[in-house]
């Protein structure tokens, strides 16, 4: 990644994760903390949607209010038992991380999902701009469903923003893989729920993680944050508090929970504003 001052990492967490992240960011802005001034925004799955919105120039309050509106155009879904079982078996029995991702990719490619074009329309409807940002660097993560390889799409590698975000949100077994550059891509959360290690080289890092998952083959945001700290960065990882977890519910893909999740994120922000400020703007020791 190179060196820089501030990086914002936005992790995966479904429709409710998008809402909670935007609520939290809006609440932090209420407290005078605009995390949108990060030099790089790293988005995975839900975080890619938030990252694209945050760097679009649209006011946070507008983005927040959109989460409170009825979720027209969104499709309710849930991760099926077969997908969960495949991912669990892959993590436990595959010889290495690439083999585990390839196994998940085979399941994702074989799954009966809706057409890629229809899913693209849903993703496009979530975004307030379909152009890559010019003022901020945005990285959108995805995993190659065939090879298990990892990519961080950005404005300079030819992918359209809508396609990159759709790929990053392509939950295996739920949504179709997305074609970019002749390859088929799935959710960046297959590698890590936040991919916070992409912030290596930045001095101040805030990680917002709706689902801070961790397995032996999929490092979570807390583990990646520890590595960043060992390398000299100031890092904080923000996860949903009890009220937010209740509001988000058990199914992260349920649009009916979106408004409650957004409100809970905004309500949580004052309690963590000082902690975030110490990392984002505090005097380095």
Residues with active-site annotation: 45, 187
DSSP code of 284?
Answer: P
**Contact, 258 vs 16, CB < 8 A?**
yes
Q: Which of 194, 142, 244, 152 is nearest to 11 (CA)?
A: 194
Quote the longest CA-to-CA distance of the chain.
53
DSSP code of 237?
Answer: E
Q: Which of 188, 156, 204, 210 is nearest to 48 (CA)?
A: 188
Residue 195: its H or E element: none
| CA–CA distance, 243 with 260 (Å, rounded to integer) | 10
**Contact, 43 vs 52, CB < 8 A?**
yes
- Cβ atoms within 10 Å, residue 169: 31
DSSP code of 205?
Answer: E
**Contact, 119 vs 175, CB < 8 A?**
yes
| Helix pair 46-54, 116-126: axis angle to 10 deg | 40
DSSP code of 283?
Answer: P
């Amino acid at each position: 990644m190179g060196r820089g001052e501030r990086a914002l990492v936005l992790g995966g967490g479904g429709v409710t994760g998008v809402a909670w992240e935007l609520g939290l960011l809006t609440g932090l802005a209420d407290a005078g903390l605009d995390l949108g001034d990060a030099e790089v925004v790293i988005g995975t799955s839900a975080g890619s949607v938030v990252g694209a919105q945050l760097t679009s120039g649209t006011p946070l309050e507008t983005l927040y209010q959109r989460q409170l509106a009825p979720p027209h155009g969104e499709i309710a879904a849930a991760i099926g038992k077969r997908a969960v079982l495949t991912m669990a078996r892959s993590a436990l029995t595959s010889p290495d991380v690439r083999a585990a991702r390839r196994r998940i990719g085979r399941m994702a490619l074989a799954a009966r999902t809706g057409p890629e074009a229809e899913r693209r329309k849903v993703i496009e409807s979530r975004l307030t701009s379909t152009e890559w940002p010019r003022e901020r660097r945005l990285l959108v993560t995805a995993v190659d469903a065939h090879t298990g390889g990892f990519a961080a799409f950005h404005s300079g590698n030819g992918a359209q923003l809508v396609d990159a975000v759709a790929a990053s949100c392509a939950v295996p077994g739920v949504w179709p893989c997305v074609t970019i550059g002749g390859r088929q891509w799935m959710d960046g959360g297959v590698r890590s729920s936040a991919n916070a290690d992409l912030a290596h080289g930045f001095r101040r890092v805030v990680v917002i993680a709706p689902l801070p998952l961790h397995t032996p083959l999929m490092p979570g945001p807390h583990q990646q944050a520890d590595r960043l700290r060992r390398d000299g960065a100031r890092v904080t990882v923000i996860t949903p508090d009890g009220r937010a977890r209740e509001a988000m519910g058990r199914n992260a893909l349920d649009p009916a929970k979106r408004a409650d999740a957004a409100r809970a994120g905004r309500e949580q922000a004052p309690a963590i504003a000082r902690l975030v400020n110490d990392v984002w703007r505090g005097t380095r020791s």
